[in-house]
Structure 1
Amino acid sequence: MKFDKYSLKARIIPAFFSIIIPIMIFNNFYISEELYKFMDNVLFAKFVSNISMFLICLYYLSEAGRFISKNIFEKIYFKDEMYMPTTNYLLFQNTKYSSSFKKRIHNKVLSDFGIKLLSSKKEILDENEARRKIVETMALIRKKLRKNAFLVQHNIEYGAMRNTIGGSVLGALFSIFNIIFFKFYFESNLAVYISISTLIIYLLFIIFSKVIVNFYGNNYAKIIYREY
């Protein structure tokens, strides 16, 4: 299984942290012990069972976390990129950058892609159209800068935190399951304590999700405009 730099750091590692750990807790405290009853004569049985579960779950759960982060959190906070920092910063009504800087960006976009972004007057009349044009333009700018090292790094950072938040939803559910299971069905105080700890961590990521995605989204927006 081969992963590029973005997939490894922004998808696989967040999935391991937020989803795989609760599954490994369940596997370590319950499944592995049950397997030993039937496979105690097989060398490295516990090791093989752990690795097998990890490999099977890794890719699909990373995609599940990404799906939740993009289709729930990102849609709620940014409304399909319409309100992402990269979109907001280029609106004339936004005060992050000066009007002269925005006009330079407008001129460069027109020169590079043949797209004429809305003027300040037209933006007032139809803000949604202004946002749509910026979103379309940003896709082209990202493609143009796809090999830029600074942008790639910040894209990885944003993607990693966003996907960790999405994965934390699943991680929290798995942790709750572990707490109930190891409290009432297969008693293990250590497993319960560990699962409570993971649940608290995942809930913190969910509670502060807006702050996190805004922080890393703003950093990404600053870099993409600076490098462009």
Structure 2
Amino acid sequence: MNNYYLKARFLPTVLTCIPLYISVHSVIIAQFGPVLEPIRSILPMLSTFGISAALVFIMTQLNRVLSKEIFQRFYFKDEENMPTTNFLLLSDNYYETHIKEKLRLKIQSDYDIQLHDLADETADELSARKRILFATSQIRNSLRNNDMLFRHNLEYGFFRNLLGGCVLAILIACGLCAYGFIKHDNTLFTTGYLLIIIYLIPILMSKKIMTIYGNNYAKILHEQFLSL
């Protein structure tokens, strides 16, 4: 879990906190440093490093929330529409029929869960999705210590959280641009403008990123399940 937090949550924050770092050192500390000086002796952690570390921690949490609520929900709607669910629907064409049948038979054998047939799935797709979702949770539990699945889960989490971080990074960079414009600071204005462009690129590619890594995770999940 510590490894996942470091690589899938903390590292995306590090890559997207550059606008925050610049804002803290070039704007906040520059403007309010003298005001904070008298109480630094009382609260040693209230330093440049302490403020930055606290903000990075907050950004790590916000990145995760934004990435799930904006990108994952937008492209996959909810967990019932994730690739791990879609691929097991009989109406879905990602897997060949015999592969899907092997997965369904193994789910029934291992967990005593019978997935909907085509008629029931067509009549009530939401119920079919919920049953697949429950079966998927059991598969994840069975593969909890699977290294290959963990790596793909880490990759998916990294890029998803990176996209969430890019949203915050763009907002902060816009603030830098506005501050630079108001203060006639061309360096800050240009820096903010360039950062907006840099962090906008992953967002423009977000559908491709989420689809690729979401599909990869689902494929590895099912492959490793069949190999049990």
The normalised TM-score by structure 2 is 0.87
| Amino acid in the other structure paired with 2:89 | L
Matched, 1:73 2:71: yes
Helix, strand or coil at the partner of 1:55: helix
Matched, 1:135 2:133: yes
Supply the distance in 2 between the matched residues of 1:28 and 1:81 (Cα, whole angstroms). 40
Supply the distance in 2 between the matched residues of 1:225 and 1:134 (Cα, whole angstroms). 12
Aligned residue number for residue 123 of structure 1: 121
Matched, 1:24 2:57: no
User: Residues 205-216 of structure 1 correspond to what in structure 2 (within 5 A)?
Assistant: 205-216=202-213
Q: Is the 8 A contact 1:24 1:50 kept in 2?
A: no
Supply the distance in 1 between the matched residues of 2:112 and 2:86 (Cα, whole angstroms). 21
Aligned residue number for residue 219 of structure 2: 222
Match of 2:187 among 190, 201, 223: 190
User: Residues 1-228 of structure 1 correspond to what in structure 2 (within 5 A)?
Assistant: 4-18=2-16, 20-34=17-31, 49-185=47-183, 187-228=184-225
1:37 deviates by 5.2
1:117 deviates by 0.8
Supply the distance in 2 between the matched residues of 1:202 and 1:139 (Cα, whole angstroms). 34
Supply the distance in 2 between the matched residues of 1:34 and 1:82 (Cα, whole angstroms). 48
| Amino acid in the other structure paired with 1:218 | N
1:83 deviates by 1.8
Q: Deviation per CA, 1:144-178: give whole Å up to 9, x if none.
A: 21211111111011011111111211111111001
Helix, strand or coil at the partner of 2:75: helix
1:207 deviates by 2.2
C-alpha change, 1:50 and 1:37, in structure 2 (3 Å) is closer
Q: Is the 8 A contact 1:158 1:217 kept in 2?
A: yes
Q: Is the 8 A contact 2:24 2:52 kept in 1?
A: no
Q: Is the 8 A contact 2:176 2:192 kept in 1?
A: yes
Aligned residue number for residue 45 of structure 1: none
Q: Is the 8 A contact 2:64 2:164 kept in 1?
A: yes
Q: Deviation per CA, 1:66-101: give whole Å up to 9, x if none.
A: 111112221121121222111111111222212221
1:34 deviates by 4.2
Q: Is the 8 A contact 1:32 1:49 kept in 2?
A: no
Supply the distance in 1 between the matched residues of 2:144 and 2:198 (Cα, whole angstroms). 33
1:206 deviates by 2.0
Q: Is the 8 A contact 2:107 2:113 kept in 1?
A: yes
Sequence identity (%): 35
Unaligned stretches of 5+ in structure 1?
Answer: 43-47
| Amino acid in the other structure paired with 1:181 | Y
C-alpha change, 1:36 and 1:170, in structure 2 (3 Å) is closer
